[in-house]
Structure 1
Amino acid sequence: MNTGRILLVEDDPGIRKFLRVALEAHGFSLEEAASGKAGIALAATAQPDLVVLDLGLPDMDGKQVIARIREWSQVPILILSVRQAEAEKVEALDSGANDYVVKPFGIAEMMARVRALLRSSSGGTAANPEIVRGELRIDLARHEVTLAGEALKLTRKEFELLALLARNAGRIVTHRQLLNDVWGPAHEHDVQYLRVFIGRLRGKLGDDPAAPRFILNEPGVGYRFLD
């Protein structure tokens, strides 16, 4: 008998019902979401062993859901989609998906893919979508930051920059890595641009560069989030 919790992110109620019956018959427990936003929230709170994800969701593209989940979790993601083009498959896999099944699908093949992904991830540690450093709390799933219980209003890039530093707490993250991961390869040498954003971020965090609590400057190299 199989075991494990599966999160199904699918807006078609007919497919959800079909998969619920099939998965539960094979011994799996199931969480369901009909939108990308709900799927991201459940991926954080339910801590599933596998995510089965449709790409054509009503509120966002499935590849955006993959990217959001990959900000904090390496849970296996199986794409279930009507999109058959090779480019779509490659883009989804490059975004962080582990496998891709095209609709319509056979349940035997579907279950084989599910079992294979669960075997390959067995023994992994559960993801934690929240980073807490003293009074600072970073919710990676909801893109929310609070300091001493007060919500901070960060831009998308400010949040991505803070999250990247916090996920690598205690380690130097180079200027090039920060610029590449947050803004893309075309900005790898825009160090002054990065300094401006770090300055804004420090201002919102109330972080004094002369006596930092969170972000330490490593001159000429990068920045370190204090652990």
Structure 2
Amino acid sequence: MTTTILVVDDQASVRQLLREYLSEHGFKVITAADGQSALYTARHENPDLILLDLMMPRMDGYQFIKQFRQERQTPIIIITAREEESDAVLGLELGADDYVVKPFRLRELVARIRATLRRISGADQRMEILHVGDVWVDLQSRVVKVRGKEVYLTPLEFDLLVTLMRAPGRVFRREELANHLAESGFAGLNSTLNVHVRNLRCKIEKDPAHPEWIETVFGVGYRFHRLE
């Protein structure tokens, strides 16, 4: 089955370049010139992945992510001309999965796309259910339930949760977590790892400011709480 990618950018030259290059690499490419038309296209075409510019007319990338994440968890890779990390971090806080900065190498972009897609389809089949306390993860269906209620995670948040839950009580160094997630496409620094941890806490913790499950080990990293 052909993978469909939605390219959202207000520059026609960028849309055309990405359409041609990604098509040559076996992807079906659809495009939109702003956030509003991207919402319509994403709802009707159901793409497998979205490449999203941030600075656009009518509805910018931030507004798109905020609204779209209320509806679907399709992976989103930000493409931005700004090199300030804060721009990308804000996109990650809103629910994007990764980012690349223009000008980017097309080969690198394709590698990021394929790695992100592998995250979605590569659930570990050796263990179908992870369960610690009131947190349940079905690896095959990628369904997460907390206190009996389903919560919706981005692909990277899901991988982060699974990594921690597979070894409750084990302290993962920040660099170790970043390197592990890099195998599935994460290319962020410590600050962006913090964003994903914070987002995950907001979705699974009763009180994200005082987390019960994802514990910070100061100066080292994170661990998932182990029940005695």
With the length of structure 2 as denominator, give the TM-score of the two structures. 0.53
Q: Which amino acid aligns with 1:50?
A: L
Q: Across the two proteins, how many residue pairs are aligned to each other?
A: 128
SS of equivalent residue, structure 1 residue 58 = coil
The equivalent residue for 1:108 is 107
Q: Which amino acid aligns with 1:45?
A: H
Displacement of 1:122: 2.2
Displacement of 1:3: 3.4
Identical columns (%):
44
The equivalent residue for 1:40 is 39
Return structure 1 stretches of 4+ with deviation > 3 angstroms: none
The equivalent residue for 1:88 is 87
The equivalent residue for 2:63 is 64
Q: Which amino acid aligns with 1:122?
A: S
Pair 1:120 & 2:119 matched = yes
Displacement of 1:35: 1.1
Contact residue 48 and residue 75 of structure 2 kept, 8 A: yes
In structure 1, stretches of 5+ residues that fail to align are 125-169, 172-179, 186-227
Matches of 1:69 and 1:123, distance apart in 2: 24
Matches of 1:111 and 1:21, distance apart in 2: 12
Tell me the C-alpha RMSD between the 2 structures: 2.3
The equivalent residue for 1:50 is 49
Displacement of 1:87: 1.1
Q: Which amino acid aligns with 1:104?
A: P
SS of equivalent residue, structure 2 residue 26 = coil
Contact residue 34 and residue 60 of structure 2 kept, 8 A: no
Deviations 1:121-164 (A, max 9, x none): 2279xxxxxxxxxxxxxxxxxxxxxxxxxxxxxxxxxxxxxxxx
Matches of 1:12 and 1:121, distance apart in 2: 29
Matches of 1:14 and 1:119, distance apart in 2: 28
The equivalent residue for 1:18 is 17
Matches of 2:2 and 2:105, distance apart in 1: 21
Matches of 1:120 and 1:93, distance apart in 2: 17
Point out the structure with max Rg over C-alpha.
1
Q: What is the correspondence of 1:185-204 to structure 2 with a 5 Å cutoff?
A: none
Deviations 1:54-113 (A, max 9, x none): 001111220110111100111000101101111111111111000100001111111001
Matches of 1:123 and 1:72, distance apart in 2: 23
Q: Which amino acid aligns with 2:68?
A: I
The equivalent residue for 2:213 is none
Matches of 1:110 and 1:27, distance apart in 2: 14
Q: Which amino acid aligns with 1:25?
A: E
Matches of 1:80 and 1:103, distance apart in 2: 7
Matches of 1:83 and 1:60, distance apart in 2: 18
Matches of 1:95 and 1:47, distance apart in 2: 20
Q: Which amino acid aligns with 1:33?
A: A
